[in-house]
A and B are shown apart, each in its own frame.
Chain A
Amino acid sequence: MDNNDPLPLGARSNEVEKILVGLKRVVDYNVRVRVKSDGSDVETDGVKMSINPFDEIALEEALRIKERGDASEVIVISVGTVDAQQQLRTGLAMGADHAILVESDSSVDPLGLAQTFKSIIDRDGIDLVILGKQAIDDDNSQTAQMLSAIWGRPQATFASKLDIAGNKATVTREVDAGLEVIEIDLPAVISTDLRMNEPRYVKLPDIMKARKKPLELIAMADLGIDQGPEIKSVMFEPPLERERGVMVNDVASLVAVLKEKGLA
């Protein structure tokens, strides 16, 4: 299936050998994000940073697949500044085998990310990619779909359940109408929804062990990636805030106000 792989898919013990998981460093979901006064960005100085929650779920899923014996290696990758090593170390402590940091000081659009992941897929021979369905900073929800597009492989987005059998996977997706079930051929790209699993906590000894695991640094520039035409963020502003309204004392007053507004 790919050049670096010694054996074709069917001939190996595991249909899925290597799983690639994206880990994005983002402002922690508990932080109340504020726009800088000059509107150039949001304030990220001195703010708590974490792994994007959806990516943690992606990693947990990959680890469970490996622990079931359905895969042999889990690789975590992050594209960003050197600071993202922190999140990769956490990923290694959770149980990933190998980490890759593609270093870039400027922000990379989803298409550029997809191209970056694709170059690692080609280099390392990846059978399954699991990404979060969105990053809670830019809320784009694009990278998994873009990666599967340029890879020419299936996508199963917003997944809450993933069953792998041979070189196929059955995926339950959380869609507006309910739960959609699709079957896909592997290799493929999965994007995780919140209810897929509950990520494990990292234990102290695992953090120590993770220090010895390989963390590879690659300069974005060395990959020679065409990031596609850039979408520029021109300005940031705070949203229109809703104002605090009135408090009523009892149900009767609530009904009265609703009736007055023609809402009941």
Chain B
Amino acid sequence: MSKVLVIAEHDGVMLNPSTAKTVACAASINGAIVDIAVFAATAGPIASEAAKLASIARVVTYERSENKHALAAVIAPQIVAVAGEYTHIFGPSTTFGKDLMPRVAALLGVNQISDIMSVESSHIFKRPVYAGSAIATVEAPMDTILVATVRIASYSAVTSNNSALIESGSPSVVDIPTHTRFIEVKSGATDRPDLQTATKVVSGGRALASAENFDIIYKLADKLGAGVGASRAAVDAGYVPNEMQVGQTGKIIAPDLYMAIGISGAIQHLTGIKDAGTIVAINKDEEAPIFEVADIGLVADLFTAIPELTEALD
């Protein structure tokens, strides 16, 4: 029987929505018992949120001051110390999980499965390779612990109707490394919906040509109540901050509506939006590859079309 430990992602205050999606993946293993572990300085509110998630058996909290920031070097040995009880350890394939889980796997002496997109059996999974140009079916050995990250865009969050047991786990690791120290996080925090969970996303590309011009993208997004994303070219050019990049090496998202504006549709970008509900493309080049995947395409100059669209949505 499978017993899965899901590592909660949080910012010290709130549970990240990636956790509910990771739980959805874990719970899709036949007959699995799923626990959530919260490593935090103060786990209280995070654990209460986690305990509401459907399909989980219990939440175990590991509180210590060193866990204030999610440093892989600090948290990995603590996970390893409690791994013995479990057959699987899952984390989200966000920068948090991608940083942490391979460190856990290596300390446990096993390889890791990255970006699970579907569960075929307790030890067989599908995952994308080559920027999503191929889907690989991979099989992990049955006789060792299985460590994996979950491609969160492939899963819908489990509902929050549970009231699972919250236990405080006894931290058994005495030796927490001090060689890695958190300094700060700089984020262009906005009131807009979070890119990874927004139901609508408007993204701009290189065509915007400046940070100022991106304003028309923000205006449209605000009209739609959408999050804002960007292509790598737009981020590289400094029009928008890195956390807005969508794609193979940015965020993989699955909104109901994705609008690609002045984005050509390179494979590395498309891999980030494959699971979107409806893709709208606005591009002045009718040959742009983005139109091959768009549900609705409009050949137009964005500098006239976008203000017009924003206006028309009143």
Contact = CB atoms under 8 A, between A and B. Distances in A.
A182 to B, nearest CB: 6
Interface string A177-212: 111111111001000011100000000000000000
Interface string A234-260: 111111011011111111101101100
Interface of B: 11, 71-73, 76, 94-96, 98-107, 109-115, 124, 128-141, 143-144, 177, 179-189, 196, 200, 224, 232, 235-236, 241-243, 248-249, 251, 256-257, 267-268, 274, 278-280, 282, 291-300, 305, 308-309, 312-313
A239 B112 CA distance: 22
Contacts of B129: 42, 137-139, 236
B73 A155 contact: yes
A34 interface: yes
Contact of B179 (A176, A184, A242): A184
A178 B185 contact: yes
B263 to A, nearest CB: 15
A160 B181 CA distance: 17
A150 interface: yes
Given A193-B242, A195-B236, A245-B279, 19 more contacts: A27-B130, A29-B268, A34-B133, A111-B106, A137-B130, A146-B103, A146-B106, A148-B73, A149-B107, A155-B180, A178-B186, A188-B179, A239-B132, A242-B274, A242-B295, A248-B296, A249-B298, A251-B309, A258-B280
Contacts of B196: 176
Contacts of B296: 245-248, 254, 257-258
Given A146-B102, A157-B99, A242-B279, A184 B180 contact: yes
9 contacts: A42-B134, A150-B107, A154-B179, A179-B187, A234-B124, A234-B136, A237-B135, A251-B305, A254-B280
A110 interface: yes
Given A242-B274, A246-B295, A177 B185 contact: yes
Interface residues of A, number: 83
Nearest to A259: B313
Contacts of A236: 129, 134-137
Interface of A: 27, 29, 32-35, 42, 109-111, 114, 133-134, 136-143, 145-150, 152-158, 160, 170, 173-185, 188, 193-195, 228-239, 241-242, 244-252, 254-255, 257-258, 261, 263-264
A255 B106 contact: no
B71 A182 contact: yes
A35 B134 contact: yes
B51 to A, nearest CB: 24
B71 to A, nearest CB: 7
